[in-house]
Amino acid sequence: MKKTLFVSGSIGLGHVHRDIAIARELRKIAPVDVEWLAAAPADQVLRNAGEKLHPASARLVDMTSIAETQSARGRLNLIRYAMSARSRWTGNFELVDGIMGHEGFDLLIGDETYEISLGYKKQPARKKRPFVMIYDFVGVDAMSNSPLERMGAYLWNRRWAGGGAGRRSYVDLGLFIGEVEDVPDIGFGPFLPNRREWAKSRCTFVGYVFDFDPARLSDVGALRAELGYDGSPLVICAVGGTSIGRELLELCGEAYPTLKEAIPSLQMVLVCGPRLDPGALEAPRDVKVAGYVPAFHKHLAACDFAVVQGGGTVTLELTALRRPFAFFPIEGHCEQEVCVADRLARHKAGIRFRQSETSPARLAEAILEGMRSPAQWPPIRSDGAREAAEAIGALL
């Protein structure tokens, strides 16, 4: 039995669901005992899933809280967030390295755990066990003309690119959640390597990872009956696992009267997630407001239209479920504004908006148009959890 420490390190909730899916597939092909390190809100998802949470999870730096304090009115500059969070990363690295060195773990898996990869890059002699690093984007981009932000992006990319082509000794297996075309075919910056070539030399591309089978969620009527919805048109609006999207949910509520006038039987649900207080949200009386919703993918599969932030996981889930949707990348968040948006454009999925430029009337118009237009994009690959598990199993 191989003892594995899985660190689900990204902010919000999107990544922890795919991490659970990978762990479940790994258990099918290899004798592994998986223990988890995760901060809020991902720790609660792991508990609800019956996974074993390491007691040291309580000592992890809460990256979600840092992101929330850096945000304002639906904006989060990813470069500034990374710079401010980096000073807190040393503690996380020391915590993980101590566990790996003293508790008999055979393998370390980290999902976007840059603090761990940077720590072992600086001190490779400290790494005693194989390390698997999971990515879903490569490189960062400045989202303004600020010289300080542009310099920060360049310095971050130079550190990311490292010595160029060739596998780094401190990452034994790199897994990229997605396809080769999801990595921009551009350089990290002046005199730095090409991002796509870097990823091809460092990573195994496994496709997209879901903790559900999209093919089993095609019966909308049965789903609605299971979830307690009637047959009326249903719009789901959600902002994921942070409190950054409060203004977006309130924008959806402001669009509701126009939608209700056009479709009197319309149902709208605002999903606050685990970090927003549903009682504090300003919403029309007839709009249902919910907090954290387990098995949320079922609600997405049951809806006629969804409005979400530009998170990489929820937008991929809607793409795989082939439900029409509008997405609002967090402004200043280069992963969402560039990587996720470009991927959706390649798949021809979703309608992109900027929150600061969208009125309630314009959003209502887009929802009505989208509800009349079934998804036209082709199915996407959804077996990434198995592919990732097989790659990890081969390393074990």
Question: Which tens digits make up the pLDDT trace of 107-156?
Answer: 999 999 989 998 998 898 999 999 999 999 999 999 989 998 999 999 99
Average pLDDT (356-373) is 96
- Domains of the chain in start order, with CATH, are 2-208+383-395 (3.40.50.2000), 214-371 (3.40.50.2000)
- Reported confidence tier of residue 163, pLDDT bands at 50, 70, 90: low
Between 277 and 374, name the one with better pLDDT: 277
Whole-model pTM: value is 0.94
pLDDT computed for residue 73 by the predictor:
78
Average pLDDT (293-305) is 96
Between 135 and 69, name the one with better pLDDT: 135
Average pLDDT (10-33) is 93
Q: Judge contact between 12 and 242, C-beta under 8 A.
A: yes
Average pLDDT (221-237) is 96
Query: Where is average pLDDT lowest: 39-43, 60-64, 245-249, 388-392?
Result: 60-64
| Alpha carbons 111 and 32: distance in angstroms, whole number | 18
| Alpha carbons 380 and 178: distance in angstroms, whole number | 10
- Reported confidence tier of residue 169, pLDDT bands at 50, 70, 90: low
DSSP state of 340: I
| Alpha carbons 93 and 24: distance in angstroms, whole number | 25
Give me the residues paired with residue 3 across strands. Answer: 33
Exposure letters 188-202 (e unless 16+ CB within 10 A, then b): bbeebbbbbebbeeb
C-alpha triplet 51, 296, 56: angle, nearest 5°: 30
Residue 394 neighbours by CB distance under 10 Å:
11
| Alpha carbons 252 and 330: distance in angstroms, whole number | 15
Model confidence over 71-91: pLDDT tens digits? 887 788 888 887 777 777 788
Q: Judge contact between 41 and 12, C-beta under 8 A.
A: yes
Exposed (0-12), middle (13-18) or buried (19+): which is 376, by Cβ within 10 Å? exposed
Backbone angles phi, psi at 161, to 5 degrees: -65, -30
pLDDT computed for residue 290 by the predictor:
96
- Kindly tell me if the per-residue pLDDT of 165 is higher than 70: no
Place of tokens 């400290």: 126
- Kindly tell me if the per-residue pLDDT of 363 is higher than 50: yes
Listed in sequence order, the residues at least 6 apart from 321 whose beta carbon sits closer than 8 Å to its beta carbon are 214, 217, 297, 300, 301
C-alpha triplet 360, 365, 367: angle, nearest 5°: 95
pLDDT computed for residue 63 by the predictor:
81
pLDDT computed for residue 284 by the predictor:
95
Q: Judge contact between 327 and 344, C-beta under 8 A.
A: yes
Mean pLDDT of the chain: 93
pLDDT computed for residue 277 by the predictor:
94
| Alpha carbons 111 and 177: distance in angstroms, whole number | 10
Overall size of the chain counted in residues = 396
Task: Give strand ranges (E) for the chain.
Answer: 2-8, 32-37, 52-53, 107-111, 131-135, 173-177, 203-207, 234-238, 267-271, 288-290, 305-309, 325-328, 351-352
pLDDT computed for residue 166 by the predictor:
46
